[in-house]
Structure 1
Amino acid sequence: MSSDKRPSLLFLTSPEHGQANCQFAVITCLREHYGDDIDIHLCSYPELENRTLPSVTFHSVKGEGIVKYFEKITGSPKAGLQEAFKTISSPTGFLPACMAYPRLLPLLHPESPEEYVASANDVAKILADVNPDFIVCDDLFDQARDAIINSGRKFILISPNTIKEVAGKNQGLGRLWKWPALVSGYAYPVPWHLIPLNIVATIFPLFYFRRYERFLTLIRTRNAAGYPDLLPKWQANQTKYSKIMCMSTPEAEIPAVYPPGVICCGPILQHSKPLQEVNEKMYEWVMAKPTVLIVLGSHFVTSEEYANKVMAALNVLLDARPDIQVLWKVRKDCEFEIAGWKEKEDRVKVVQWLEADPIAILETGNIVCFVNHGGSNSYHEALQTGTPQIILAAWVDCYDFATRLEYLGNGAWGNKGSAPGCDTKTLTKALLKVIGATPDAAEATKIWERAAELKEIVTDGGRRIGREVAAGYVWEGLQEALRTYHD
């Protein structure tokens, strides 16, 4: 046990918002329930330190997160961001699906093998210095997982993703023909005529990586440094050393096998202050009319062409529905005026930044549709609040949520066939389908009812909050570890 009088927890995470937010949600929850009775530490790359709560001790790891690493090699934040997301920007289809995982490796591990080992060794040193009683680790933070496994310490993994990402290899042969291959864009279940292509796209990476020198060099370098086997995230059994928590709720998911050790918490989302407390004027504006919220992720940069296509689709909706308004967060790639926006600016509020978190806006109950990029956090924010959604899939890891949305019936894929770009005709069709050309449109009503039904499922009628569930499992793991130390 730690020499500190208080039980100690160490959280380890990649610094990217999509990975770190679920850990912040759990940390905040633990603080609310147990106050200063536990000593909480957070370990990540330096760029996450300024987001860390004052009551949490931060430990910096040698190296950089994905975006910062690309900033370093390109020489500027803007170029780094563009390069990072160019790496995982891809159209859908058979050939892109075959190369999906090979495209992901340089993004998840842009560092050199030597830099990887240096980070893992640094985590090992932090583990020895902090000597935590229990550890919570981001499932994508391979360097940290390597160090933890070698240390023999007790830990639990946490993922901001779903059963498909954490237990794909546990699905048996059904995975080959039921689940759409990553980036394929195929529907769930995979149509019969596409099954042969889906099988090839799913197994191709297994053969590719056997000859992919970058991957093999990283494995050899790790092994030589004392970290055995494949990268932890790439090993077949993700629950070999610990349990893993994810955001899925089985009854609100695509059918899957749930192996022992996989804990389905539901949406693990951060608590946010109500919109009216953060920005009263924005709250009054949102509550004035049924509102469409458009937020395409914290890193998505919008081109003039893309924005103009979205606006053209919005114009069709707004002409059909005078009772609707739009709140649109746009991060432009350069200075430009969106075509057709001036004529509708009284009903289309365009902002570069939202003072409140998107979930705070969704929780007002006056959002009729959430247009998002298909990231896990955004998808689950809409799921938890019962908000119909349209996904404008931006990157390779977003397409699965678009196909999941179509299968579950709580929204529409707004750029199907044109992703990662945008097609006005397809988006217009999605907007009219999800929101309706009239307030009582039958299809839109059905989608709204389905979204509300899924909310009831994932929250158990408001009695179940994902971050509370995850925090409970962390506390349980800590208590079990303490009992082991005392025995």
Structure 2
Amino acid sequence: MLQAIRRPLALLALVGALGAILLSYLTNNKELENHLFKQVQGKNNTVLFLSNSNLGYSNVHLATAFALLEKHPSVKIHYGMFEKLRPRVERVSEYGKRANPAAQPISIHLLHSEEYIVALKTRGVDPESSLITGPGWAGGAFFHRNFRWVLSPWLQEDHLDIYRDCADLINTIDPAVVVLDPILRPAIEATQDADRLYAVLSPNTFETFLKYQPWAKWLWKFPAVTTGYPYPLPWTYIPANIASWARLIYNIVTMDTAEARQFLKSKGIKDPLNFDEHHRVDSPWITQAMREAALPIEYLPPNVSAVGPIVFSAAPAEQQDAELAQWISTAPTVLINLGSMFMYTEERARAMAGGIKLVLDKTDVQVLWKIKKAGVYGDEFREELEGYVDEDRLRIESWLTVDPAALVYEENVVASVHHGGANCYHEALSAGIPHVILPLWADLFDFATYSEYYGIGVWACRPTTPDWTAEGIAEALLKVLDNGEAGVAMRAEARRLGEIARARPGRDAAAQIIADLAGTGK
């Protein structure tokens, strides 16, 4: 009986949510544009960065902090972070001082709690295993079911600890502007509760703003996140697209946050875990999206700045590892780097090794392959490649001695094989080289779709995603390397977009916005 009552209530809630969202989307929420929030004026030319440690999100913050040191030395930077990020912030500070001796070193402040990825794993969402899903309806189920934890995975006590650390930093430092990570929810709440001016700095592109598109185009024109559906969306995909959005909205509507909200409110947080406040129109939102290579939406809220790829490299490759740079200069080179979080199972290692062998057999390229193992297994997967290793046409490394952003800028790097992460995508985009993308979850499918839509890359192993085959990997790479009409056109378009991206580096544009905010306080 109880179950019979719950089902229609859940359906009613879903229909009501869809209706309310549809109404707001049809009007673009423009009534919000005139709504301003009070702000406390902070110390002039003082900036506080608050970010997670995972490089997928923090890279844009590190790159922008470097640009502030280099271009705006009068701005004093404070950085609130988890311990894991400390070495990278120290490195940014060091290289920023080298770039401009007038710059002030970054002041480091630690947040005393577990970082985002650790918290995510405690919730059963592990980027190395459970998060890996296929595209489409079935693949999106896990992501939709765990959307709450993706947005904010911390236990309520840890959430409170981070909030209090951030609130103390804001009160002590008195920054003119706080630069926020969109998935560091406690820091967002601490900043909003303190009525401080802030800017959200995001590695992702326009997916956040799909809801503002006229005529509910998020339902029938743009692929829903996690689906991997092609763009433009074929009409035959529209029912499945709507169903995917409906399931996500249902999971949001039925999200169980009442107990955590009550606890956090009792501790003084004004409006905890209110994900509707994720995007406020009174505060700048800076994205590394580049109009020429991102989801082609029609409307952006007026506070959103799309500055293009925000890429950081401490120094050119030859200054970081002269021997590796020399090796790259000897032949066209394919870089295989699937991001900082990804680890290879033995099955995936075998598939990649097989794909590499097929490509090396048929071309004159050389390959730099970064591989981190998931679990313990032997090196049998690489046995068929040892001849190429001996010839020095293949280098297999567990870590890279050069920043990936510097590697893709090397003249002889002709293709980037990556997982579809926002930073990998924009690094290759800025460098002007084509992509071979092996997406594994959620928004990674989006970047694989963009690469094919704009003719600058290939979604490898698409029929078997997220599983790989040697043949699928080789086929994608050979398309990119081919000297026929299609391959030449792909490389030419990648070069053209790279020239646009490099004309005004996104990190400099983001730093300019933040410096202006720090100088004016508004």
Same fold (TM over 0.5): yes
Does the 8 A contact of 1:66 with 1:84 survive in 2? no
Equivalent in 114, 131, 137 of residue 64 of structure 1 = 114
Is residue 18 of structure 1 aligned with residue 60 of structure 2?
Answer: no
Match of 1:417, SS?
Answer: helix
Does the 8 A contact of 2:147 with 2:251 survive in 1? no
Instruction: Report the alpha carbon displacement of residue 444 of structure 1 after superposing the two structures with TM.
Output: 0.8
Equivalent in 398, 406, 412 of residue 352 of structure 1 = 398
Distance 1:217 1:191 in 2: 42
Match of 2:520 in 1: 480
Change (3 A) 1:444 1:340: same
Change (3 A) 1:441 1:394: same
Instruction: Report the alpha carbon displacement of residue 114 of structure 1 after superposing the two structures with TM.
Output: 3.0
1:378-397 alignment runs, 5 A limit: 378-397=424-443
Match of 2:464, SS?
Answer: coil
Is residue 302 of structure 1 aligned with residue 348 of structure 2?
Answer: no
Change (3 A) 1:330 1:192: same
Match of 1:343 in 2: 387
Instruction: Report the alpha carbon displacement of residue 416 of structure 1 after superposing the two structures with TM.
Output: 1.2
Match of 1:381, SS?
Answer: helix
Distance 2:452 2:306 in 1: 22
Match of 1:156, SS?
Answer: strand
Match of 1:370, SS?
Answer: strand
Instruction: Report the alpha carbon displacement of residue 201 of structure 1 after superposing the two structures with TM.
Output: 0.3
Once the two structures are superposed, what CA deviation does each residue of 1:436-487 show, in whole Å capped at 9, x if it has no partner? 1xxx22211111011012112323xxx3011000000001111221xx6xxx
Match of 2:129, SS?
Answer: helix
Distance 1:85 1:236 in 2: 30
Distance 2:42 2:56 in 1: 33
Distance 1:401 1:63 in 2: 32
Distance 1:197 1:230 in 2: 33
Distance 1:224 1:417 in 2: 50
State the one-letter code of the partner of 2:519. Q
1:86-125 alignment runs, 5 A limit: 86-125=129-168
1:281-430 alignment runs, 5 A limit: 281-321=323-363, 323-333=364-374, 334=376, 335-337=378-380, 338-345=382-389, 346=391, 347-430=393-476
Distance 2:217 2:262 in 1: 32
Match of 2:395, SS?
Answer: strand
Instruction: Report the alpha carbon displacement of residue 349 of structure 1 after superposing the two structures with TM.
Output: 1.4
State the one-letter code of the partner of 1:63. S
Distance 1:19 1:296 in 2: 15
Match of 1:175 in 2: 218
Match of 1:85, SS?
Answer: coil
Match of 1:255, SS?
Answer: coil
Instruction: Report the alpha carbon displacement of residue 417 of structure 1 after superposing the two structures with TM.
Output: 2.7
Change (3 A) 1:16 1:363: same
Match of 1:77 in 2: none
1:196-211 alignment runs, 5 A limit: 196-211=239-254
Once the two structures are superposed, what CA deviation does each residue of 1:276-335 show, in whole Å capped at 9, x if it has no partner? 1222221121111111110111121112221211122222222221x2111111112333
Distance 2:516 2:490 in 1: 38
1:446-457 alignment runs, 5 A limit: 446-457=489-500
Equivalent in 59, 64, 78 of residue 41 of structure 1 = 78
Instruction: Report the alpha carbon displacement of residue 228 of structure 1 after superposing the two structures with TM.
Output: 4.7
Match of 1:154 in 2: 197
Instruction: Report the alpha carbon displacement of residue 225 of structure 1 after superposing the two structures with TM.
Output: 4.1
Q: TM-score, normalised by structure 1?
A: 0.89
Query: Please, which runs of 5 or more residues in structure 2 have no aligned partner?
Result: 1-39, 94-104
Equivalent in 470, 473, 479 of residue 433 of structure 1 = 479
Match of 2:37 in 1: none
1:459-474 alignment runs, 5 A limit: 459=502, 463-474=503-514
Distance 2:210 2:142 in 1: 17
State the one-letter code of the partner of 2:470. T
Instruction: Report the alpha carbon displacement of residue 400 of structure 1 after superposing the two structures with TM.
Output: 0.9
Distance 1:18 1:318 in 2: 30
Does the 8 A contact of 2:201 with 2:286 survive in 1? yes
Match of 1:209, SS?
Answer: helix
Does the 8 A contact of 1:87 with 1:103 survive in 2? no
Match of 1:41, SS?
Answer: strand
Distance 2:204 2:348 in 1: 27
1:199-278 alignment runs, 5 A limit: 199-213=242-256, 215-229=257-271, 231=273, 234-235=275-276, 238-256=279-297, 257-278=299-320
Identify the range of structure 1 (302-311 vs 365-374) with the bigger mean alpha-carbon deviation: 302-311
**Runs of 4+ that moved beyond 6 A:** 1-4
State the one-letter code of the partner of 2:111. V
Q: TM-score, normalised by structure 2?
A: 0.83
State the one-letter code of the partner of 1:455. G
Instruction: Report the alpha carbon displacement of residue 70 of structure 1 after superposing the two structures with TM.
Output: 6.1
Distance 1:258 1:97 in 2: 26
Identify the range of structure 1 (420-429 vs 373-382) with the bigger mean alpha-carbon deviation: 420-429
Does the 8 A contact of 2:72 with 2:515 survive in 1? no
Once the two structures are superposed, what CA deviation does each residue of 1:381-436 show, in whole Å capped at 9, x if it has no partner? 00001011101113323111111111111010113132232122322221121111
Instruction: Report the alpha carbon displacement of residue 47 of structure 1 after superposing the two structures with TM.
Output: 2.4
Change (3 A) 1:129 1:456: same
Distance 1:247 1:142 in 2: 20
Does the 8 A contact of 1:272 with 1:359 survive in 2? no
Instruction: Report the alpha carbon displacement of residue 221 of structure 1 after superposing the two structures with TM.
Output: 3.6
Instruction: Report the alpha carbon displacement of residue 108 of structure 1 after superposing the two structures with TM.
Output: 4.4
Does the 8 A contact of 1:8 with 1:133 survive in 2? yes
Match of 2:501 in 1: 458
Match of 2:175, SS?
Answer: coil
Instruction: Count the aligned residue pairs.
Output: 463
Match of 2:98 in 1: none
Match of 1:19, SS?
Answer: helix
